[in-house]
Amino acid sequence: MNMMRTAMLLAFMTALFMGIGLLIGGKGGMMIALVIAAGMNLFSYWNSDRMVLSAYHAQEVDERNAPELFHMIRDLSANAGLPMPRVYVYDNPQPNAFATGRNPENSAVAASTGLLERLTPEEVAGVMAHELAHIQNRDTLIMTITATFAGAISMLANFAMFFSGNRSNNPLGVIGTIVAMVVAPFAAMIVQMAVSRTREYSADRRGAEICGNPMWLASALAKISGAAHAIPNYDAERNPATAHMFIINPLSGERMDNLFSTHPNTENRIAALQEMASSFASTASTGGFQAARPQRAARSVPNTGWGRGSDEPRKGPWS
């Protein structure tokens, strides 16, 4: 079923891309767009994850330079029955995270430094479990391909203004140019919205099952939502086509209750997790899922959960 959805998405995005080519350059433009779309389909399948990670300057970490995060994701992956993904950290004060990759065997999860600094270990475990759920549900391929196509469609629509004077190749003249410039990016946004909003609830539920406590994720969502729009993410502002990949929309101008938001209403997500938590009461009373919780240092440190005091320098690839 996931393969069928992916194929349908690729077909739709390719048709949309060809339609823009037709509006800009007639049949010749449509054929050029078809060739470009075919190349993008192949490129997106193999390289879209690298493009997204590169866009956010994410750096891979391991058990030597980020042992607590690495061990947490290793334990969560084992609990989910998934192979260990590559682990990345990107330097940004906005708490957020995303997952990418074409399949569970070739996947990656990325957390911001803001997420690791502002959330407790339990909350980070809930967020990372959510991202692993996307990998397990094979959402990451669809989300990364959608991000690639949406960005390309927006860029192609911008090119339309440069071809607006060439009416001999544009079958609809000025109207076709306006459609290409306005309607096509809007259609791409609708696709992004549909892809993300229908998958977040499923990933929340499965993520709560993976980490063993729905309230960890609920608490994390409340904190991230409160900080995400107060702390700008300039890389996300430059790459808005990737916004749907994050656990919370990283764009500072996007309201979570907006009709055209790429994410469901955060309060509704939290309410669903709180309702789910009641069924986890017996599990929580026996300790829940403990393996994913990183060990705090024995000495007294602020409640960052990552074993370092405020007077100590950062340790990791972002330092």
pLDDT at residue 306, rounded to an integer: 45
Average pLDDT estimate for 25-31: 72
Q: 3-state DSSP call for residue 101?
A: strand
Confidence of residue 298 (pLDDT cuts 50, 70, 90): very low
Neighbours of 246 (CB within 10 A): 26
Count how many Cα atoms sit within 13 Å of the Cα of residue 272 in the half-sphere of its side chain: 16
Least confident interval from 44-48, 213-217, 282-286:
282-286
Cα torsion for 94, 95, 99, 100, to the nearest 10°? 10
Give the pLDDT confidence of 36-76 residue by residue, as tens digits.
777 766 776 777 788 889 999 999 999 999 999 999 999 99
- Distance, CA of 128 to CA of 134 (rounded, Å): 10
Give the pLDDT confidence of 124-161 residue by residue, as tens digits.
999 999 999 999 998 887 776 776 666 667 666 666 55
Average pLDDT estimate for 204-223: 95
Q: Please list the residues that pair with 61 across neighbouring strands.
A: 87
Please report, as a single letter, which amino acid is at residue 220: A
pLDDT at residue 297, rounded to an integer: 32
pLDDT at residue 264, rounded to an integer: 84
134 annotated to a ligand binding site: yes
**Contact partners, residue 195, CB within 8 Å, separation at least 6:** 9, 139, 142, 143, 146, 244
Sheet with 106-112: list strands edge to edge. Answer: 59-61, 86-90, 106-112, 97-103
71 annotated to a ligand binding site: no
The phi, psi pair for 219, rounded to 5°, reads -65, -40
Please report, as a single letter, which amino acid is at residue 83: P
130 annotated to a ligand binding site: yes
Catalytic residue among 122, 131, 209, 254: 131
pLDDT at residue 266, rounded to an integer: 92
Mean pLDDT of the chain: 76
Contact 125, 216 (CB under 8 A): yes
Is 105 an active-site residue? Answer: no
Question: 148: closest CA among 54, 43, 252?
Answer: 43
Please report, as a single letter, which amino acid is at residue 291: A
Q: 3-state DSSP call for residue 89?
A: strand
Helix (H) or strand (E) holding 174, with range, is helix 173-178
Alpha helix stretches (DSSP H) within 180-265: 184-211, 214-228, 234-238
> Which of the pair, 296 or 109, is modelled with greater confidence?
109
Residues 260, 262, 267, 268: is their CA dihedral positive or negative? positive
pLDDT at 271 over 60: yes
